[in-house]
Chain A
Amino acid sequence: DVVMTQSPLSSPVTLGQPASISCRSSQSLLQSDGNTYLSWLQQRPGQPPRLLIYKISNRFSGVPDRFSGSGAGTDFTLKISRVEAEDVGVYYCMQVTQFPVTFGQGTKLEIK
């Protein structure tokens, strides 16, 4: 199974400042079709998760452009350019390149 490792596990951020979360996979997520199926999810307190980013860097419908994804192979990053209060929650990376689908442990984003 592909192991997904996130860092940091907790990230206190000042409103209006940037935030960055790293995700590393135990093997390359590049699939034979040329795509890399690495996604980022946000889970606000008390809510279901929500897809933010798919295939490394594609923002899903309705996701603000302050969220961006980058990376390749085994190393990926989610960046928030200016953190807002509504961004508080837990962020997960997820790989769907191979079954079983696996998630990172989650990174808790909180406001300082």
Chain B
Amino acid sequence: EVHLVQSGGGLVQPGGSLTLSCAASGFTFSAYWMTWVRQAPGKGLEWVANIKQDESEKYYVDSVKGRFTISRDNAKNSLYLQMNSLRAEDTAVYYCVRSVTAEYWGQGILVTVSS
């Protein structure tokens, strides 16, 4: 059974940094693209970033380019999202998602950017 267990969320001040982690199990992690999607409170879904199996390709939504970095460790079956220079508008539930086609989703983790 596929599991995506997320950690690392919380409250951070504007301009601060946070790293989200996603521990994958139940499938061959190194065989899949991985994705981060976010959802602001009461709003719809927004794709944030994708990473290819070998990290050779990474894509970001324009609003996070230069501030967020997606990475992975295939040996640890883990996906990461390093978030720097956080803004109030980054406040959202962040989801770790398997593949570009969004087959499986983590439970989501709340990131709140506020002073």
A-to-B contact residues, CB < 8 Å:
37, 39, 41, 48-51, 54, 60, 90, 92, 94, 96, 99-106
Q: Are A48 and B50 in contact (CB under 8 A)?
A: no
Q: Are B61 and A51 in contact (CB under 8 A)?
A: no
**Shortest distance between the CB of B69 and any CB in chain A (Å):** 17
A35 to B71, CA, bound (A): 28
**Can you name the residue of chain B whose Cβ is closest to the Cβ of A101?**
B47
A37 to B102, CA, bound (A): 11
Interface flag for B100 (CB, 8 Å): yes
A50 to B107, CA, bound (A): 11
How many chain B residues touch A (CB < 8 A): the figure is: 20
Q: A49-B45, A101-B50 are in contact. Are A37 and B108 (CB under 8 A)?
A: no
> Pick the contact of B44 from A48, A60, A103 — CB < 8 Å?
A103
Q: A48-B95, A48-B108 are in contact. Are A54 and B101 (CB under 8 A)?
A: yes
Q: A96-B100, A101-B100 are in contact. Are A49 and B105 (CB under 8 A)?
A: yes
Please name the 9 residue pairs, one residue from A and one from B, whose CB atoms are nearest each other, closest first.
A101-B47, A48-B105, A103-B45, A99-B59, A106-B44, A96-B100, A48-B108, A54-B101, A100-B61
Q: In the complex, what residues of B have CB within 8 A of residue A54's CB?
A: 101, 103
Q: Are B103 and A51 in contact (CB under 8 A)?
A: yes
A102 to B44, CA, bound (A): 11
20 additional contacts (CB under 8 A) given A48-B107, A92-B45: A37-B100, A37-B101, A39-B102, A48-B95, A48-B108, A49-B105, A51-B104, A90-B44, A92-B44, A94-B102, A96-B100, A96-B102, A99-B50, A100-B47, A100-B62, A101-B50, A103-B44, A103-B45, A103-B46, A106-B45
A37 to B108, CA, bound (A): 24
Interface residues of B in 14-65 (CB under 8 A from A): 35, 37, 44-47, 50, 59, 61-62
Q: Are A96 and B101 in contact (CB under 8 A)?
A: yes
Interface flag for B106 (CB, 8 Å): yes
A–B complex contacts, Cβ < 8 Å, 8 sampled: A39-B101, A48-B105, A48-B108, A51-B104, A90-B44, A96-B101, A100-B62, A106-B45
A49 to B47, CA, bound (A): 13
